Structure 1
Amino acid sequence: MVIAKNFILKVLKKTNFFHLSNYESLNWRTVFWVLLLIALFIRFPFFFRDYVDRDESTFIIMGQSWANGYLPYTQLWDLKPPITFLFFGIAIKLFGQSFIAIRLLGTIMVALTALFTYGVATKMSSKKIAFWCAIFCVFFQSLFGSLQGVMSEHICIFFFMAGVYVLFSKKHWAWYFVIGILFGFSVMSKLNMAYAVLFLGLYLLWNGFSERKYSATLGKLSLMGAGFVLLILLTALPYYLQETTSVWWTSIFKAPLAYSESKQHSLLKTLPAILVILGLLVAGFASKVIDYKSKQQQLLAIMVIGVSFSFMQAGKVNGHYLIQLYPFMLILIGIAIGKLPQPKKALNWVIAGVLALIPTEAYLEYANIINHKVEKGSFYNGEGIDVPNYILNQNLETKNIFFTEYHIGYWILGVHPPTKAATHPSNITREELFPYMNNPRKTGLEELRYILEVIKPKTLVARKGKKIFDKKLMDYNEYIDSYLENHYALEYTVGRGLIYQRLE
């Protein structure tokens, strides 16, 4: 602890952290180290959690499969573009099976996203405003929900903000090719960012034509489009070399379309969040705290609208989706606040107190990992870790196992899900996706019966106090509850983890 404390103090002094009142003297290196230290402080206690969001577990499993030499969608399957899995695959290939490595790389990515946010903000505001926009960008990417893991939104917004920074800072035509590549990386991490790219491209086209810069505008957008398309085609290259291009096409493009058409989410559910977001924009422009004549601020507003439109298309707004909005919104809010009267010095202590309370989730998690270390001898915690360790210690069956919950356990045990459709447990019920993952079963219940009655897992893991499938899926739950009662016995309980053993 003393060594860590001395290291942090040395970095803070080296980066001139204690003299940040002179914001105009800030350089990128100083800002990066400050952002990284804050991100590391907030996110570090979650390095030892089994998972924060179940999607992260799926990404890790998919990444491991790629690191083992299997392209995404061939051995295992999930409804995300390949660059998300590539991030995890590279982390695993370089550092092995390490939660710390994955989440440290995620922390660095959060700090870099905030750094690009700082860079964009400096193009239209003071360094002071830009610095605090970046600080809050770290906060909002790391707190308030299941954001402490590494989500596809973290990956896509990192590439997108890098592209926006290049767009704001580089004027030579050639840079538009780089921008297109960065936007391609973003969309191939999370497809809904295509709406932001589309809205941005339409805005640039309209703006260029309104200034009668026809050839220059078309040339720049053509280069951006070429970079974008090139990146997408590069993700298809490994499949082309293995003569499985159809797998790439159906999994990345056709499957999401089929899913969006079949989803039951209502547009009305997104309206409250969308109305708040768009209401803030309208209020900002109407009150002139956001300059509606500024093309840079117009561009940020357009990207907010583009991402918001994608939420409306999805029919839902999960907490981690908002990561895709935070950088743009924070810059605009920062610009607006900068035009308001400055608070009196007496309020500085109140503001400092509020800032100190923001990472409350991190403080609680520090206490949690310390207590876990004292009680169980390890910082690593959560049933996703404890259950697999218990299975290993008790010499239970691992090769034929089915995790209906805590599916990060497949990774810890070094085994695969029983079927491709079971990579993420909820995918079993998404039968509209079965044709695109080349699954021979036609329905979710048929898939579940195949797993339980043909593969016959020797060990099955569930969660105490929770239905195995969504409560609305009564037929799924009735079937598996009945099957467990007749063919399995609950042998062990580890925390909330239930470990069943097959009777015959």
Structure 2
Amino acid sequence: MSSRTASLPVLAVRRSANWANSKLPLVAWLFAFSLLTRIGALGDQSYSNDEAFYVLVGQLAHQGTIPYVDIWDRKGPGLFLLTFLVTALSPTMVSFRLAAWLCASATAVLISSASSKLFGRTGAWFAGTFYLALLPLYGGGGGQSPVFYNLLIALAGWLVLHERQQLQAGRVGWQIYAAMFCAGMAITFKQCAAPESAFLGCYCLWQLRRSGTELPKLIRAGFGLAFCGAAPMMIFALSYASQGHFAFFWSAIVDANLKRTYNPPLAMLTQGGLFFLSCSPALIVAAAGLFRRQEHDWQTRFLGGWLLAACCGIAIMPNFFEHYALPLFVPASIAAGGAISGGRIRPMTAMLLLVGLLAIGPALRFDLRAQSRVATQRIVTTIQSRDPHPRLLIFGGPVALYSMLDAKLPPSPLRFPMHLFHRYENNSGPFNTKAEVQRILAWKPTVVTLYSDMPSASQNPATTAMIRGYVAHCELWLRQPVRQVFATDEISVYGNCAK
């Protein structure tokens, strides 16, 4: 063996150490900045009802509750597996939010690395920081599902970029198959990730085709990539089928999304236009990076296609809630690094932009998060002092009350309030909403919470009328405003029911 060959492992170790040393300040900055933008929401149980429900599913899964069968929602099984694993370590909201912080920070590191690979190191710090500054502005300051699956998509995109030259040489390494598996795993968190995953797979095949790869080999590679992308969801589907619960799984992942009622087309177009207008800060900066120079044509095509695929992911489920924008920010932030490297945005302008995003967003409104924690705790204290072990029904209000109180939960899979009270959720799953509410009321809940000021246009008239009739025979214990991340709702707490 030659001395040069023998020294290769030593050289590899040295290069790894040099890479870690050179990147360590950036990584430390991104993790610290991420914590700054998320620490206010860390222990706030009412920051987001969605997140409180995810934690509840994870907690109940340790007691044998099966998602989709015993507790229903249309979110993907990967998200519930994650909450199961996190709550195994610690069954608290804080542990869930810490997991979200780690994922957001790691995603920012990958974004910085990808931007550096595409545009040079100058804008890498801005790309990752820009991503972290955008998240809270659009409801991602806690643990919404894209905060987690963006990490998988970012890793898949990073692997594709890393292996681009190998693809151009007609070689498909294990890294590409790993990228497709990561992209497929992202789909198990939320089906909206499917267009991004498909784009990355098609881009790999396009690079292979340009390399002169023959059609039979290209087809075999396509089947291999598709199999790796489909494998995560197939594993979950087979798991449910083996337990005899495939119908519930199919209903949540496919059927419920097709049956769900959406706004009329004109209203949907209006909402969609306003939604993408609200995303303009990210899209404008991304465009400045994408179209900086003609010689970066392939970067423009790659990131432009990725960004378009993320937009398609939003369009296939046109609800246009704020957190639906979060998947856009992975490719947009990578492109934003190009705006700095290309000189379209000066460093001082970039700093002012980041400060502005923090100033107008909720990340640093520690006073609001403190008020939310106090308000939620007041509801908990009121119920505990009057009914320590209630039969609790949250028809409207903080889902976290199910976890915070020593309460008996409703005997129905529909435990997320929106499935009970919202007009567009009526009968969207495998369960008849009205029949489930009747079943819950026959159980005679002793404490009921609901929204005092729910807009009539959002109400399921049948179920709301039933609940209003039931609480007419209860005592009104408390009316308490509780602030979520973007809205304040007044919660009415009724007790001494069914006594």
TM-score normalised by L of structure 1: 0.80
2:134 maps to: 140
Residue 295 of structure 1: how far off its partner (Å): 2.7
* Contact 1:63/1:86 (8 A) holds in 2: yes
Indicate yes or no: 2:37 matched with 1:42: yes
Amino acid at match of 1:458: T
Match of 1:98 among 68, 80, 92: 92
| CA displacement, residues 390-419 of structure 1 (integer Å, 9 cap, x when unaligned) | 322333442344442112111222546424
Indicate yes or no: 2:482 matched with 1:490: no
1:269 maps to: 271
CA distance in 2: counterparts of 1:160 and 1:263, whole angstroms? 32
2:161 maps to: 168
Change (3 A) 1:156 1:415: farther
1:231 maps to: 232
1:157-236 mapped onto 2 (5 Å cutoff): 157-170=150-163, 171=166, 172-215=172-215, 217-236=218-237
Amino acid at match of 2:471: L
Q: How many residues align?
A: 460
1:340 maps to: 343
Amino acid at match of 2:444: K
Change (3 A) 1:75 1:30: same
* Contact 2:184/2:232 (8 A) holds in 1: yes
Amino acid at match of 1:313: I
1:247 maps to: 248
Q: Structure 1 regions of 5+ residues with no counterpart?
A: 1-23, 373-379
* Contact 2:391/2:447 (8 A) holds in 1: no
Change (3 A) 1:181 1:203: closer
| CA displacement, residues 248-271 of structure 1 (integer Å, 9 cap, x when unaligned) | 223222222222679876244213
SS at match of 2:477: strand
Residue 205 of structure 1: how far off its partner (Å): 3.4
Amino acid at match of 1:150: G
Amino acid at match of 1:173: G
Amino acid at match of 1:460: V
1:221-370 mapped onto 2 (5 Å cutoff): 221-259=222-260, 266-274=268-276, 288-289=291-292, 291=294, 294-340=297-343, 343=346, 348=348, 352=351, 355-356=354-355, 358-360=357-359, 361-365=362-366, 367=367
Change (3 A) 1:107 1:237: same
1:16 maps to: none
Amino acid at match of 2:154: M
CA RMSD of superposed structures (Å): 3.4
1:7 maps to: none
Residue 146 of structure 1: how far off its partner (Å): 2.5
Which one scores higher on RCO, CA 8 angstroms, separation ≥ 6? 2
* Contact 1:178/1:224 (8 A) holds in 2: no
CA distance in 2: counterparts of 1:460 and 1:445, whole angstroms? 17
2:379 maps to: 387
Q: Structure 2 regions of 5+ residues with no counterpart?
A: 1-18, 167-171, 482-489
Indicate yes or no: 2:120 matched with 1:126: yes
* Structure 1 residue runs of 4 or more that deviate by more than 6 Å after TM superposition: 260-265, 275-279, 430-436
**Once the two structures are aligned, what percentage of the paired residues are identical?**
16
CA distance in 2: counterparts of 1:433 and 1:355, whole angstroms? 38
Amino acid at match of 2:448: L
* Contact 1:281/1:301 (8 A) holds in 2: no
SS at match of 1:420: coil
| CA displacement, residues 283-334 of structure 1 (integer Å, 9 cap, x when unaligned) | 659x941548633431221121112123222223222111101121122233
1:467 maps to: 454
CA distance in 2: counterparts of 1:103 and 1:280, whole angstroms? 30
CA distance in 2: counterparts of 1:274 and 1:492, whole angstroms? 39
TM-score normalised by L of structure 2: 0.81
Amino acid at match of 2:122: K
